[in-house]
């Protein structure tokens, strides 16, 4: 059990009493990040009580739980997942996995979403996380409370609703916020959008291409979803205009996909106008314009990082956070940390990074993982992860329609190889 954490209670009549107890951790969300946090907390039973994991829905997996319906559930809770029916992962399983929990080696490298859900369910079962999850329980508020008895130490009150207990508030030493950031669609402000007469939807509510067969579609945004969905739509003979603000994409796209610059406005007659003055009259306007960071229970705080290798990132950040809680790492003062964040933001903006991209890590993620691992005293990701990630990134840039046909195998911590080429399903 857990017995090596000692706090001295100062003040009052109890000044000399030494209390020994283990740290209580709450986890908001049972997607990949929440499960990872719970697993590492459970593996440190000397220091931590078993975590309390709050999960809004009735199952684990978050993003990887495919919901055919869009909008909201019967209980009027809005649909969380943005998963679409034919999605296959854009990272090979060899890079995507938690380093301590490989996927089934018989699977191809690029997986249909069902396999990732199955993997996360297995992870939850195997590490004994499932009994610690309170399903159908929504975290309504997470609030810091200063403990006067313990030298200004902060604890956290977590108020939840639903589940077995209804409304209630519990107190924790730390809270892992793992509620995801691909659920609240970001809608760009396009002048005249209310004039659009066709079907308007965001990729959050896109499920499958069939209902768009043969239609004219303007897809706005050429990120991972915009590009993938354009290629899917071309497969059902939709006429796609892929509108984006990036330099023109040079790799081969299906003939049904034309590129256009960003949309500037929707005219009174419902036509879509692009910044170069060109005009289109699509039947469908599909916004693949990303997501807002939204943490309603935190009263305005915003966290999160993008363009990363998600599961590896969770694995590393969780271990670092636990090293902080265990006292292995001591953090600088909040003022020093805020100053460093400010300096980094300034540096990035001076290099021309747009404000909305300040949380994108890209190639900076690898140095960041090394730093966290060094400070926290745990194993950093093996070099093979970075080298395969970068290889797949290159393949994706050059062959967006074909890169998923490749299969990879890890040979060692530094080497990988390409196996046979699979036909695209």
| Tokens 């319906």, located at residue | 69
Determine, following the binding rule CB under 6 A, whether residue 310 of this chain makes contact with ligand FAD: yes
Do the Cβ atoms of 414 and 382 come closer than 8 Å? yes
Q: Which of 180, 209, 282, 376 binds ligand FAD (CB under 6 A)?
A: 180
Binding positions for ligand FAD, 231-290, rule CB under 6 A = none
Determine, following the binding rule CB under 6 A, whether residue 207 of this chain makes contact with ligand FAD: no
Q: How far is the CB of 401 from ligand FAD (least distance, A)?
A: 16
Which region, judged by CB under 6 A, interacts with ligand FAD, from 2-10, 39-47, 87-95, 332-340? 87-95
Determine, following the binding rule CB under 6 A, whether residue 31 of this chain makes contact with ligand FAD: yes
Q: How far is the CB of 374 from ligand FAD (least distance, A)?
A: 24
User: Measured between alpha carbons, how far is 412 from 94 in angstroms, rounded to an integer?
Assistant: 12
Q: How far is the CB of 399 from ligand FAD (least distance, A)?
A: 16
Which CB atom, from 196 or from 295, has the smaller least distance to ligand FAD? Answer: 295
Q: Which residues contact 103 (CB under 8 A, 6 or more apart)?
A: 93, 96, 97, 111, 115, 119
Phi, psi torsion values for 336, nearest 5 degrees: -65, -40
Determine, following the binding rule CB under 6 A, whether residue 117 of this chain makes contact with ligand FAD: no
Q: How far is the CB of 127 from ligand FAD (least distance, A)?
A: 15
Which CB atom, from 98 or from 196, has the smaller least distance to ligand FAD? Answer: 98
Which region, judged by CB under 6 A, interacts with ligand FAD, from 11-19, 32-40, 241-249, 263-271? 32-40
User: Measured between alpha carbons, how far is 371 from 51 in angstroms, rounded to an integer?
Assistant: 26
Alpha helix segments (H runs only) across 164-267: 224-234
Q: Point out which residues pair with 48 in neighbouring strands.
A: 23
Alpha helix segments (H runs only) across 260-363: 310-326, 334-350
Binding mask 144-173 for ligand FAD (x = CB under 6 A): ------------------------------
Distances (CA, A) of 69 to 65, 83, 109, 393: 12, 11, 28, 32
Element (H, E) at 34: helix 32-42
Distances (CA, A) of 52 to 77, 175, 179, 263: 22, 10, 14, 46
Q: Which of 54, 123, 206, 408 binds ligand FAD (CB under 6 A)?
A: 54
Residues that bind ligand FAD (CB under 6 A): 28-34, 54-57, 62-64, 80, 82-83, 87, 89-91, 96, 138-139, 178-180, 182, 225, 297, 310-311
């Amino acid at each position: 059990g857990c017995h090596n954490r000692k706090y001295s209670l100062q003040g009052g009549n109890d000044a000399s009493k030494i209390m020994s107890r283990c740290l209580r951790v709450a986890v908001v969300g049972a997607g990949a990040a929440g499960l990872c946090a719970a697993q590492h907390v459970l593996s440190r039973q000397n220091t931590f009580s078993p975590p309390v994991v709050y999960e809004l829905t009735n199952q684990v997996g978050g993003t990887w739980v495919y919901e055919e319906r869009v909008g909201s559930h019967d209980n009027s809770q809005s649909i969380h997942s943005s998963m679409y029916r034919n999605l296959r992962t854009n990272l090979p399983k060899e890079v995507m996995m938690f380093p301590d929990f490989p996927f089934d080696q018989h699977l191809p490298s690029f997986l249909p979403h069902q396999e990732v859900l199955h993997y996360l369910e297995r992870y939850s079962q195997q590490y004994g996380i499932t009994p610690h999850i309170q399903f159908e329980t929504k975290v309504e508020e997470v609030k810091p409370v200063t403990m006067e008895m313990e030298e200004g130490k902060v604890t956290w009150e977590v108020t939840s609703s639903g589940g077995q207990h209804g409304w209630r508030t519990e107190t924790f030493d730390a809270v892992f916020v793992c509620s995801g950031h691909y659920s609240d669609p970001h809608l760009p402000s396009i002048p005249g959008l209310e004039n659009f007469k066709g079907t308007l939807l965001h990729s959050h509510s896109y499920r499958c291409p069939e209902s768009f067969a043969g239609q004219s579609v303007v897809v706005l945004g050429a990120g991972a979803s915009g590009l993938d969905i354009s290629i899917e739509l071309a497969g059902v003979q939709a006429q796609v205009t892929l509108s984006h603000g990036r330099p023109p994409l040079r790799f081969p796209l299906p003939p049904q996909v034309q590129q256009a610059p960003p949309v500037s406005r929707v005219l009174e007659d419902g036509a879509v106008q692009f910044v170069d003055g060109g005009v289109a009259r699509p039947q469908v306007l599909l916004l693949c314009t990303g997501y807002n960071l939204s943490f309603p229970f935190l009263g305005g705080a915003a966290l999160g990082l993008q363009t990363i290798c998600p599961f590896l990132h969770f694995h590393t950040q969780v271990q670092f956070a636990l090293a902080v809680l265990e006292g292995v790492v001591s953090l600088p003062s909040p003022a020093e940390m805020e100053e460093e964040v400010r300096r980094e933001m300034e540096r990035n903006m001076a290099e021309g990074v747009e404000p909305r991209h300040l949380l994108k890590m890209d190639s900076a993620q690898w140095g960041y993982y090394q730093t966290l691992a060094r400070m926290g005293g745990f194993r950093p990701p093996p070099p093979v992860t970075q080298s395969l990630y970068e290889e797949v990134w290159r393949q994706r840039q050059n062959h967006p329609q074909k890169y998923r046909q490749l299969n990879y195998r890890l040979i060692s911590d530094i080497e990988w190889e390409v196996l046979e080429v699979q036909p695209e399903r």
